[in-house]
């Protein structure tokens, strides 16, 4: 469900014509629907209303301050994976007491910042990391609440780049090492083992991998309890998929019901880390057609958004629906929609049936709210796009388009200005 629609022949975001936004802010441009964002968060949150829980939005999916602030107002926490995301979450009004810190490569500076902020919990991914957090917490006179991320060796049946729950993945600890880690955390000054963490991947469209992982987590918790290690939090991560094309992921209601049923009243506060399912279909990327070209072998639509603006098609071979901003009766042709980047891998769609377009036409790349702008780069020295948030019949610029001056900010020519 989302609030991008055609009340007539023109695409709207909520009650605003997309063309009106582009007329003011240009292309490429990310546009987000606040109503969609709020609806998706509330649907997910309500799915776990029968048990104690905390929804920690996965900041890496979309870290714009306006998005984070909107979720903070709804009571969301944050799942972060860097010091920068910690900074963003707190700036947006998410209390540190609702923040969990995941990720395999936390630096000393990031750990120190999180300890000073007194976040809810570290999700620890290696024994060396556990020891470092304990040493730093003890030195600072703090107590670090920790959960070890266990790797249940469950196949999430998703793209290998976003699979995280197999033994061959870099994430988490095998169960035997995790048990050793909890024993260490119990004895080490500065550490308080309060939770167990498990996250198996992203864009998962079946319930069975989640349930298989949860069963293994429950067995592991029983081992901890036998050793006298009591936990308060069970962090089940995120990963619930969205429909990009013909996927039929379970609705959050059924996802919640299945997990709660499997837990059978266990006395833990659940922590959930949804990202894509909250924001994925709340955003689009709008791009303008620059040229069309027919080589005799293939027809191309060349647009002003490239792989630097939306990396998913080039990186994962991902499908995003592409629709005209203005609907007209035109012949359907099969085209590659490609960007201006000097790479053969720069495409938004391949062999895609689309209505014929002409230079100046606008196209909307759907389901671009997650892993869109956050993965954008300045490759080919291209300024990153503007971001706009729509609320009802109003729209707001929530990130300015970068300028050429932004591209070189911080760069120094050493033999000028007395540097050499």
- Residue partners of 71: CB distance under 8 A and separation at least 6: 37, 41, 57, 94, 278
Q: Using 50, 70 and 90 to split pLDDT, how confident is the model at 331? A: very high
Cα separations (Å) of 269 from 195, 236, 382? 9, 11, 45
Domain 4-31+280-408 has CATH 2.40.37.10: yes
Q: Is 390's pLDDT higher than 60? A: yes
Q: Which helix (H) or strand (E) holds 55?
A: strand 53-58
Domain with CATH 3.20.20.10 in the chain: 103-272
- In CATH terms, 103-272 corresponds, of 1.10.3720.10, 2.50.20.10, 3.30.420.40, 3.20.20.10, to 3.20.20.10
Least confident of 246-255, 280-289, 312-321: 246-255
Q: Is 151's pLDDT higher than 60? A: yes
**Average pLDDT over every residue of 161-169:** 46
Q: What is the pLDDT of residues 200-246, one digit of tens each?
A: 777 777 888 888 888 888 889 999 999 999 999 999 988 888 888 88
Domain with CATH 2.40.37.10 in the chain: 4-31+280-408
Q: Which residues are annotated as a binding site?
A: 239, 273-276, 312, 316, 343, 371
Q: Is 419's pLDDT higher than 70? A: no
> How far is Cα 399 from Cα 384, in angstroms, rounded to an integer?
10
Q: Which residues are annotated as a binding site for substrate?
A: 276, 312, 316, 343, 371
> How far is Cα 70 from Cα 37, in angstroms, rounded to an integer?
8
> How far is Cα 296 from Cα 85, in angstroms, rounded to an integer?
48
Q: Which residues are annotated as a binding site for pyridoxal 5'-phosphate?
A: 239, 273-276, 371
Q: What is the pLDDT of residue 169?
A: 59
Residue 118: count other Cβ atoms within 10 Å of its Cβ.
Answer: 14
Do 179 and 154 form a contact (C-beta atoms < 8 A)? Answer: no
DSSP secondary structure string, 118-151?
A: T-SEEEE-SHHHHHHHHHHHHHTT--EEEEEEB-
Look at the block and give the residue holding tokens 């001056």. 405
pTM: predicted TM-score of the whole model, two decimal places: 0.93
For 89, the 3-state DSSP assignment is helix
Encoded tokens for 160: 């290998």
Look at the block and give the residue holding tokens 């429950």. 218
Query: Best-predicted range by mean pLDDT among 11-20, 153-162, 216-225?
Result: 11-20
Q: Is 300's pLDDT higher than 70? A: yes
Do 367 and 14 form a contact (C-beta atoms < 8 A)? Answer: no
Do 233 and 147 form a contact (C-beta atoms < 8 A)? Answer: yes
Encoded tokens for 341: 């980047």
Least confident of 130-139, 226-235, 244-253: 244-253
Q: Using 50, 70 and 90 to split pLDDT, how confident is the model at 366? A: very high
Higher pLDDT, 198 or 304: 304
Q: What is the pLDDT of residue 170?
A: 55
Q: What is the pLDDT of residue 162?
A: 40
Cα separations (Å) of 38 from 189, 271, 366? 41, 19, 18
Q: What is the pLDDT of residue 243?
A: 85
Q: What is the pLDDT of residue 262?
A: 87
Q: What is the pLDDT of residue 275?
A: 95
> How far is Cα 41 from Cα 274, in angstroms, rounded to an integer?
9
Catalytic residue ranges: 342
Q: Using 50, 70 and 90 to split pLDDT, how confident is the model at 158? A: very low
Q: What is the pLDDT of residue 161?
A: 40
Q: Using 50, 70 and 90 to split pLDDT, how confident is the model at 415? A: confident
> How far is Cα 225 from Cα 247, in angstroms, rounded to an integer?
39
Q: What is the pLDDT of residue 166?
A: 46
Q: Is 314's pLDDT higher than 50? A: yes
Higher pLDDT, 190 or 249: 190
**Average pLDDT over every residue of 188-196:** 96
């Amino acid at each position: 469900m989302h609030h991008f629609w055609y009340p007539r022949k023109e695409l709207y975001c909520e009650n605003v014509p997309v063309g009106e936004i582009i007329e003011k802010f240009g292309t490429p441009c990310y546009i987000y629907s606040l109503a969609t964002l709020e609806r998706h968060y509330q649907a997910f949150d309500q799915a776990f209303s029968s048990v104690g829980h905390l929804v920690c939005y996965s900041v890496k999916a979309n870290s714009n301050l306006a998005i984070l602030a909107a979720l903070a107002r709804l009571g969301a926490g944050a799942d972060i994976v860097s010091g920068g995301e910690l900074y963003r979450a707190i700036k947006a009004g998410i209390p540190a007491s609702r923040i969990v810190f995941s990720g395999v490569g936390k630096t000393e500076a990031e750990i120190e910042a999180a300890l000073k902020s007194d976040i809810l919990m570290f999700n620890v991914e290696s024994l060396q990391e556990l020891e470092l957090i304990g040493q730093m917490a003890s030195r600072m006179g703090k107590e670090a609440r920790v959960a070890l991320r266990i790797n249940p060796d469950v196949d999430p049946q998703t793209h290998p780049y976003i699979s995280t729950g197999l033994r061959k993945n870099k994430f988490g600890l095998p169960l035997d090492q995790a048990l050793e880690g909890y024993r260490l955390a119990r004895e080490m000054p500065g550490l308080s083992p309060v939770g167990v963490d498990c996250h198996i991947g992203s864009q998962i469209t079946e319930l069975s991998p989640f349930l298989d992982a949860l069963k293994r987590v429950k067995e592991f918790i029983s081992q901890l309890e036998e050793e006298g290690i009591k936990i308060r939090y069970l962090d089940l991560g995120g990963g619930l998929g969205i429909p990009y094309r013909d996927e039929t992921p379970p609705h959050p209601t059924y996802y919640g019901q299945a997990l709660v049923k499997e837990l059978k009243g266990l006395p833990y506060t659940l922590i959930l880390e949804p990202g894509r399912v909250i924001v994925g279909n709340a955003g689009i990327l709008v791009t303008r057609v620059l040229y069309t070209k027919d080589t005799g072998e293939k027809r191309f639509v060349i647009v002003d958004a490239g792989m630097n603006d939306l990396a998913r098609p080039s990186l994962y071979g991902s499908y995003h629906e592409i629709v005209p901003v203005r609907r007209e009766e035109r012949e359907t042709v099969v085209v590659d929609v490609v960007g201006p980047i000097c790479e053969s891998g720069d495409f938004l769609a391949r062999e895609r049936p689309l209505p014929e377009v002409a230079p100046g036409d606008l196209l909307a790349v759907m389901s671009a709210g997650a892993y869109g702008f956050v993965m954008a780069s300045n490759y080919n020295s291209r300024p990153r796009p503007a971001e706009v948030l729509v609320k009802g019949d109003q729209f707001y610029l929530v990130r300015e388009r970068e300028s050429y001056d932004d591209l070189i900010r911080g760069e120094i020519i050493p033999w000028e200005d007395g540097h050499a």
